[in-house]
Amino acid sequence: LIRVQSIHVCLLVCSFRTFPCAAVEVKNEPILGFNEGSPERAELQKALDDLKGKTEEIPCVVGDEHVWTKDIRYQLSPFNHSHKLAKFCYADKDLLNKAILASVAARREWDLKPIQDRAQVLFKAADIISGPKRAEILAKTMIGQGKTVVQAEIDAAAELIDFFRFNAKHAVELESQQPLDSDGSTNTMLYRGLEGFVAAVAPFNFTAIGGNLAGTPALMGNVVLWKPSDTAMSASYAVYNVLRESGLPPNIIQFVPADGPVFGDTITSSEHLAGINFTGSVPTFKRLWKQVAQNLDIYKNFPRVGGECGGKNFHFVHKSADVRSVVTGTIRSAFEYGGQKCSACSRMYVPDSLWPQIKQGLLDIHKQLKVGDPVEDWSTFFSAVIDDKSFARIKKWLDHAKSSPKLNIIAGGHCDDKKGYFVEPTIIESTDPQEAIMAEEIFGPVLSVYVYPENNYKEVLNLIDNTSPYALTGAVFALDKNVVDEAAKALRNAAGNYYVNDKSTGSIVAQQPFGGARASGTNDKPGGPHYVLRWTSPQVVKATHVPLKEWKYPYMG
Ligand SMILES: *[C@@H]1O[C@H](CO)[C@@H](O)[C@H](O)[C@H]1NC(C)=O
Ligand SMILES: *[C@@H]1O[C@H](CO)[C@@H](O)[C@H](O)[C@H]1NC(C)=O
Ligand SMILES: *[C@@H]1O[C@H](CO)[C@@H](O)[C@H](O)[C@H]1NC(C)=O
């Protein structure tokens, strides 16, 4: 209640442009515990039961129209692939072009609305997800994307709610950032949306990212074509419906599942393309960017291309490290959600003096990690990987590890896709720090370890910086203050999110705004205060109140 009131106070103050906006007070959404006997657990259990054996029908939505094309697809539950959770269809080129024109036509009116009105849509959506729709969206994320309760909660509830509330707050507060006035004239910065449409291409691994990719550009006055991930369809559709229920008008966000290349080809050949908000693989992102470059002559604007592509995140352990926190932090970072987070730790560097202890610690926990059905068994630590393609890719890495003389599997290594796409948590020791497994992204529950002579840590820092093309997250475990400082300098460009004595994952909106450079992406830090600026094209208005009477300058005599 206090929060809602403070938003209202601010809205009143903000409508007079000359008064700086009072700060909107927003807090991170509390994460619920789901302990036995809790009300949230009962609600979630009911939502999970409601989805059992069901197949939801999900159309494309353009404007208010529900459209079915002939190209039918299914979303399977990763841990029980005989369960078709959703039936949906791919938008074809014609439907995508129709969606583009309808959104471009709706843009002006939406962009002219006061930011406070658009922000209200996200504040309301956040409240609905926090309250009545929480259980449904969590259940769809668990069954559809194979998440455990806690992984669904930190994503589809907490992070999504935080993205909506904080970005809405940042958008409202942006209005108060105004240029200087001078004697006799007033200067105003108008934060317009981009002229044209934004294409949002979302990944499977975070329900929150889909909502944010589409929702934040819309908040800033843009119109959006949202291509949700095939393997996050059910939760994405639920989020889309919450946005509509919260007052988002038709045609502002078009919900258009589509084949990747068809979507890419269609949006990049429209003169109205104003921006791309992408999350996915490096090759796909490069393909889109090249298409934009090739078509540059047809666009009305220079499209803004931004995206996030992944990582090869490191845990660097110094001999002064606290062993227990290295072990627990690495288990969580490498294996939570089966390593399918771009921030997952997948390479670790350990001094030989600590390796026996750390190895034993990892193996002890490894024995207790349960991989299974997160709905039937709440003690499951992580579930199946997302789909058959992902399973096949990870299996290839496991086969590689089995056949390479430089690699030694010390735990796990098996996988089985009879019922679901299950891969064991796997720990591999590499005698070669440049082995491909230490450099390339795997995106599965696979951790590779290189053990170094403890006094060579300086070379190892250099090695970490140079082994992989990515630079997303990384962690340094050292209690020696000088080493912490030294590492921070050596690894300054190796990670966009850098952790000291903490695991490389688990960033929280507004606390650790997220993103990396190099091959990891354009580092836009969604969840930070600057992110909303990426989706605006400001106009500066100078209004002069004192008429200019003289054309000559005094020195001219
Ligand atoms: C898997 O899904 C099928 C089809 O919906 C269902 O019949 C079966 O009971 C499910 N298995 C489990 C273990 O939930
Ligand atoms: C689009 O959104 C994603 C995820 O929220 C973010 O990582 C990426 O940097 C964004 N791109 C731009 C241009 O803001
Ligand atoms: C989500 O997955 C995609 C691959 O589909 C990856 O590129 C991206 O970096 C991941 N994002 C996060 C936040 O885990």
In the structure encoding, which two tokens stand for residue 176, read together?
A: 């108060």
Q: What backbone torsions phi and psi does residue 304 show, to the nearest 5 degrees? A: -90, 125
For residues 492 and 388, state if they share a domain.
yes
Let me know if residue 510 belongs to a domain: no
Strand order in the sheet with 473-477: 407-411, 426-430, 446-452, 345-351, 313-317, 473-477, 497-500
**CB 523 less than 6 A from any atom of ligand 3:** no
Report the number of distinct structural domains present in the chain.
2
Decide: 56 and 207 in contact? Cβ < 8 Å. no
Decide: 359 and 383 in contact? Cβ < 8 Å. no
**CB 236 less than 6 A from any atom of ligand 3:** no
The CA-CA-CA angle for residues 18, 19, 24, to 5°, reads 135
Let me know if residue 550 belongs to a domain: no
Alpha-carbon separation of residue 77 from 227, 349, 386 (angstroms):
20, 35, 8
| Amino acid in the structure at residue 45 | Q
For residues 485 and 532, state if they share a domain.
no
Nearest atom in ligand 1 to the alpha carbon of residue 84 is: 5
In the structure encoding, which two tokens stand for residue 486, read together?
A: 């030294």
For residues 298 and 349, state if they share a domain.
no
- What separation in Å is there between the alpha carbon of 306 and the centre of ligand 2? 6
For residues 300 and 321, state if they share a domain.
no
Q: What is the CATH number of the domain that holds 336?
A: 3.40.309.10
Largest CA distance in the chain: 93
- What separation in Å is there between the alpha carbon of 276 and the centre of ligand 2? 9
Alpha-carbon separation of residue 421 from 146, 338, 501, 531 (angstroms):
10, 11, 33, 36
For residues 96 and 134, state if they share a domain.
yes
Let me know if residue 251 belongs to a domain: yes
Q: What is the CATH number of the domain that holds 241?
A: 3.40.605.10
For residues 88 and 222, state if they share a domain.
yes
| Amino acid in the structure at residue 556 | M
Nearest atom in ligand 1 to the alpha carbon of residue 375 is: 14
For residues 370 and 417, state if they share a domain.
yes
What SS3 state is found at 216?
helix
In the structure encoding, which two tokens stand for residue 301, read together?
A: 């604007």
Beta bridge partners of 57: 87
For residues 318 and 292, state if they share a domain.
no
Let me know if residue 459 belongs to a domain: yes
Residues 6+ apart with CB under 8 A from 528: 510, 513
What SS3 state is found at 58?
strand
For residues 370 and 478, state if they share a domain.
yes
Domain extent at residue 354: 313-500
For residues 407 and 455, state if they share a domain.
yes
Beta bridge partners of 363: none
In the structure encoding, which two tokens stand for residue 461, read together?
A: 């820092």
Question: Which ligand approaches the C-alpha of residue 55 most closely?
Answer: 1
CA–CA separation, 21 vs 447, rounded Å? Answer: 48
pTM of the model: 0.95
Let me know if residue 52 belongs to a domain: yes
CA–CA separation, 174 vs 340, rounded Å? Answer: 34
Among protein residues, the one whose CA lies closest to atom 12 of ligand 3: 342
For residues 292 and 350, state if they share a domain.
no
CB atoms within 10 A of CB 459: 12
Please list the pLDDT of the chain residue by residue as tens digits (557 residues).
Answer: 333 433 443 444 444 444 445 578 999 999 999 999 999 999 999 999 999 999 999 999 999 999 999 999 999 999 999 999 999 999 999 999 999 999 999 999 999 999 999 999 999 999 999 999 999 999 999 999 999 999 999 999 999 999 999 999 999 999 999 999 998 999 999 999 999 999 999 999 999 999 999 999 999 999 999 999 999 999 999 999 999 999 999 999 999 999 999 999 999 999 999 999 999 999 999 999 999 999 999 999 999 999 999 999 999 999 999 999 999 999 999 999 999 999 999 999 999 999 999 999 999 999 999 999 999 999 999 999 999 999 999 999 999 999 999 999 999 999 999 999 999 999 999 999 999 999 999 999 999 999 999 999 999 999 999 999 999 999 999 999 999 999 999 999 999 999 999 999 999 999 999 999 999 999 999 989 999 999 999 999 999 999 999 999 999 98
Nearest atom in ligand 3 to the alpha carbon of residue 342 is: 14
CA Rg value for the chain: 25
Among protein residues, the one whose CA lies closest to atom 3 of ligand 3: 280
CA–CA separation, 430 vs 451, rounded Å? Answer: 8
For the chain, the first-to-last Cα distance in angstroms comes to: 67
- What separation in Å is there between the alpha carbon of 83 and the centre of ligand 1? 6
CA–CA separation, 97 vs 88, rounded Å? Answer: 19
For residues 178 and 259, state if they share a domain.
yes
Residues with a known catalytic role = 308
Let me know if residue 514 belongs to a domain: no
Let me know if residue 289 belongs to a domain: yes
Residue where the block lists tokens 């992102």: 285
For a substitution probing ligand 3, which of 155, 201, 205 has the most ligand atoms within 8 Å of its CB?
A: 205
CA–CA separation, 22 vs 38, rounded Å? Answer: 37
Let me know if residue 1 belongs to a domain: no
